[in-house]
Amino acid sequence: MGLRLRLLAVHAHPDDESSKGAATMARYVDEGAEVLVVSCTGGERGDVLNPRMRDDPRLAGGIAPLRRAEMAEAVRVLGVQHEWLGFLDSGLPEGDPLPPLPPGCFALTPLAEATAPLVTLVRSFRPHVITTYDENGGYPHPDHVMCHRVSMEAFEAAGDPERYPGTGTPWAPAKLYYDRGFTRSRMRALHDAIVASGRPSPFNEWVARIEEWPEMSITTRVDCGEYFDVREQALRAHATQIDPEGPFFALSAVEQARIWPTEEWYLARTRVPTQVPEDDLFAGLRGGSADGVDCAEYDGRLRPDIPVGE
């Protein structure tokens, strides 16, 4: 029997794991893989985005403890493991000109200092696959962009014994993916379905601007529609951030699974042979066990990248 497959999902804030790839993670957990979610910051500078929560007496102690409790519930729902990387939320600066980022925040932390704890986790958890955001952060929040930078640095460095000494035995993950959850085609499909049902669509403004969006490159579609209800429960766990009457819930989990039953990813780096399009983040890594959760022989040695096949 081989080793269990392992996936490390690196996110900027608590709640990001539930809106980006949650159903994929829930599927892999159900199949027997190990999944570890990393939250780079505690979301301390986040606003209360759910109007029903703005007068909650628990907010008297600040939002940070509440967001930690919400994260714990989302982790329980998804069935994943979880670690805090320990950095301070940078906030989302607004204005013209933009104000400076607050001193000591995640986005201003030197790259090596910000990456070291993630390298430690990579070397201890030994993931076969890492998921993160693209170079634009999915959207240009400074913490999301920094999350991309530390993820790429850790992917590159964790297998090199000369780098980040004192952080554990080197381990080189085999693959790294960017989340592609909010593609133009998916958002239009959901909008069109709502309109066709005779209901008002919360995506009207998005669709009005949709042609300005670049269509994201996709290599991998993971069929996980049967786990959309788990994704929905995990989202609802983040009550300060997610309005239960908001756009995430304009369609039921069953409706979304019928309209768009997959979550999308882009294979940015691979050290094992694979062929795109894929339907599995672990493509090229699975062993021959009947349940499909064992890993073929992969020793985590640092290998050169392999061009992604067409």
List pLDDT tens digits, range 185-200. 999 999 999 999 999 9
Q: What are phi and psi of 39, to 5 degrees?
A: -105, 115
With cut-offs at 50, 70 and 90, classify the pLDDT of residue 62. Answer: very high
Do the domain assignments include residue 192? no
Do the domain assignments include residue 204? no
**For position 288, what pLDDT does the model report?**
66
Do the domain assignments include residue 300? no
How confident is the model over 9-51, as pLDDT tens digits? 999 999 999 999 999 999 999 999 999 999 999 999 999 999 9
Mean pLDDT of 294-310: 84
Do the domain assignments include residue 86? yes
Do the domain assignments include residue 237? yes
Number of domains into which the chain is organized: 1
How confident is the model over 284-301, as pLDDT tens digits? 999 866 555 677 778 899
**Is 247 in a helix, a strand, or coil?**
helix
Q: Between 298 and 214, whose confidence is greater?
A: 298
pLDDT beyond 90 at 206: no
Do the domain assignments include residue 84? yes
Question: Which region holds residue 95: left if phi is over 0, alpha if psi is between -120 and 50, else beta?
Answer: left
pLDDT beyond 80 at 95: yes
How confident is the model over 251-277, as pLDDT tens digits? 999 999 999 999 999 999 999 999 999
Tell me the average pLDDT of the chain: 94
Instruction: Provide the whole-model pTM.
Output: 0.95
Do the domain assignments include residue 73? yes
- The domain in which residue 91 lies consists of 3-180+216-295
With cut-offs at 50, 70 and 90, classify the pLDDT of residue 119. Answer: very high
Q: List the CATH number of the domain containing 283.
A: 3.40.50.10320
Do the domain assignments include residue 122? yes
Three-state secondary structure readout of 216-238: CCCCEEEECHHHHHHHHHHHHHC
121 CA to centre of own chain: 16
pLDDT beyond 50 at 310: no
